[in-house]
Amino acid sequence: MSALYETTARRLREAYSGAAVAPLREVLAPTDADGAYAVQTINTRFWEAQGRRIVGRKAGLTAKAVQAQLGVDQPDFGVLFDDMRVADGGVLNPARTIQPKAEAEIAFILGADLPDPETSVAQAAAAVASVHAAIEIVDSRIADWKITFADTVADNGSSAFFVLADAGRGLAGLDLEGAAMEMTVNGAVASTGVGAAALGNPLNAAAWLARTLAARGEPLKAGDILLAGALGPMVALTTGDQVVATIGGLGEVRFTYGEG
């Protein structure tokens, strides 16, 4: 299968130029996690060799409704590279995307390594240096977003870009589970949600990521950025959109999709 995985990984890389590919059904069964992560890893190593630097991970499929939609009972993850970060208040060039959507999230920056495959939520919380409002811009190299679990995993968790609020907070005193989220596009409310949408609490997603990556021999490290999963529905982007996400206790984060 390795040659097939290599070919599939190359197809996904080439799709970044803007020509989305058909779903990967002929190579990956819809719930083939092992095969999908094998393809993801091939591209991660390729991009590292090209000089891209890993700065963290994203958790995806953290909402039970989305898991049910894709026929799985687990989240997934993708890799965050340094060149995926958009400055808070910055502009994302639409030419760098294919069929992007924005979703508001809670993000963590770690202050300590998390090497234990049995990492608890308390251990994950103790490792958090700061908590930030964030927006993830997801995208799919699969045509028309016709994805299965395996498609999105192979495609680096349907990742594209992320915006992290400059201002972070310490974990103490924050109600992450109950944190209300509102995301506006051009001043109109486009998505609402709550912290509990991410596996019941974003810290649950952080602990899941820590356990999963430690078991794979790729443990989370101090300084890593973790995106803990969408707090509400994702919203398709149109050139010129000004997107602002406000999260209770954390403040706001914003970017413009297109001309500033």
CA distance 226 to 176: 14
Q: Strand 180-185 vs strand 161-164: parallel, antiparallel, or unpaired?
A: unpaired
What pLDDT is attached to residue 65?
75
Please give the chain's pLDDT, 260 residues, in tens: 689 999 999 999 999 988 899 999 999 999 999 999 999 999 999 999 999 999 999 999 998 877 777 788 889 999 999 999 999 999 999 999 999 999 999 999 999 999 999 999 999 999 999 999 999 999 999 999 999 999 999 999 999 999 999 999 999 999 999 999 999 999 999 999 999 999 999 999 999 999 999 999 999 999 999 999 999 999 999 999 999 999 999 999 999 999 75
**Look-up of token digits 């870009």:** 161
What pLDDT is attached to residue 184?
98
Sketch the domain layout of the chain as residue ranges. 2-257
Name the nearest CA neighbour of 36 among 83, 78, 90, 85: 78
CA distance 190 to 187: 9
Q: Where are the alpha helices (DSSP H) in the chain?
A: 2-15, 33-49, 64-70, 121-126, 149-154, 202-215
Structure tokens at 184: 């506006």
CA angle 42, 43, 49 (to 5 degrees): 95
As a whole number of Å, the end-to-end CA separation of the chain is 46
**Look-up of token digits 């958009």:** 86
Task: Specify the pTM.
Answer: 0.96
Question: What is the full DSSP assignment across 48-80?
Answer: HHTT--EEEEEEE--SHHHHHHHT-SS-EEEEE
Structure tokens at 222: 């101090």
CATH topology of domain 2-257: Fumarylacetoacetate hydrolase; domain 2 (3.90.850)
What pLDDT is attached to residue 69?
74
Residue 129: which H helix or E strand, with range?
strand 128-138
- Residues linked to residue 169 through DSSP beta bridges, in sequence order: 131
